[in-house]
Amino acid sequence: MTTPPTPTAGAPAAGDRPVVGVLALQGDVREHLAALEAGGARAVRVRRPAELEAVDGLVLPGGESTTIDRLLRVVGLREPLRRRVAQGLPVYGSCAGMILLADRVLDGAPDQRTLGGLDITVRRNAFGRQVASWEEDLPLDALTGDGPPVRAVFIRAPWVEDAGPDVEVLARVGSGPAAGRIVAVRHGALLATSFHPEITGDDRVHRGFVAMVRERVGGRAAQGA
């Protein structure tokens, strides 16, 4: 067995494993922790404001966006998280996590709020009752280079109804009733997918996100911030 490297104070140098948190209030936390570790990060659970302060990046997992929104308020993480997103914290939201990052939600619960920051309108449970789940191989070149497509598993997933001018569209559904719908986007340090790469054993989306985190940490270190 090898000893894991001791984390050092301050920003890690490029090539080190950045500390990436997974919001651990509800949802498939364990799968994201494993995918982040495989993707080159040191993955930690985040349940409290002090834990949030210690991360270089954060994953918002799938689950139920209304529940996660409520729990964020209960544990006092909502405002600290909004603040860090505004300061440029890299965040990856999957499914319910995408909803939480969206500036605008269609078909949300009556009192549903989001953290916002990502200039998109999402439609919640967009695939409808007949197509509550959907699977497809999607090219995701921005994150995987010219590697094979990513197996995209959609579970009561949202899609992006509309994206602002600075949002980069990374993937659209290729076939079936939702063909053409936007399901992966990036906007500055924010990444979001309608689907769940953490359950497929393919760590390339997480690896791509860890690269975004490393870039941000490296940039901050270069500025002496």
Beta carbon of residue 68, minimum distance to ligand GLN (angstroms, whole number): 7
Tell me if residue 187 is catalytic: no
Q: Which of 31, 136, 187, 198 is catalytic?
A: 198
Tell me if residue 95 is catalytic: yes
30 part of the interface to ligand GLN, by CB under 6 A: no
Residue with tokens 């953290």: 115
Q: In whole angstroms, what is the distance from residue 39 CA to residue 21 CA? A: 13
Beta carbon of residue 207, minimum distance to ligand GLN (angstroms, whole number): 21
H or E segment and range at residue 192: strand 190-193
Whether the Cβ atoms of residue 193 and residue 183 lie closer than 8 Å to each other = yes
112 part of the interface to ligand GLN, by CB under 6 A: no
Q: CB-wise, 181 or 214, nearer to ligand GLN? A: 181
32 part of the interface to ligand GLN, by CB under 6 A: no
Structure tokens at 152: 């995209």
Per-position x/- string for 57-86, each x denoting binding to ligand GLN as judged by CB under 6 A, each - no binding: -----xxxx---------------------
**CA-based max dimension of the chain:** 53
48 part of the interface to ligand GLN, by CB under 6 A: no
123 part of the interface to ligand GLN, by CB under 6 A: no
Whether the Cβ atoms of residue 221 and residue 15 lie closer than 8 Å to each other = no
DSSP conformation letters of 123-161: ETTTTTTTTSEEEEEE--HHHHTTSPPEEEEEES--EEE
Residues in contact with 45: Cβ distance below 8 Å, sequence separation at least 6, in sequence order: 21, 22, 24, 29, 33, 51
Q: CB-wise, 33 or 96, nearer to ligand GLN? A: 96
Chain positions 155 to 214 lying near ligand GLN, rule: CB under 6 A, are 155-156
Tell me if residue 136 is catalytic: no
Q: Which of 32, 136, 187, 196 is catalytic?
A: 196
Q: For binding to ligand GLN (CB under 6 A), which residues are involved?
A: 62-65, 95-96, 99, 124-125, 155-156
Q: Which residues are catalytic?
A: 95, 196, 198
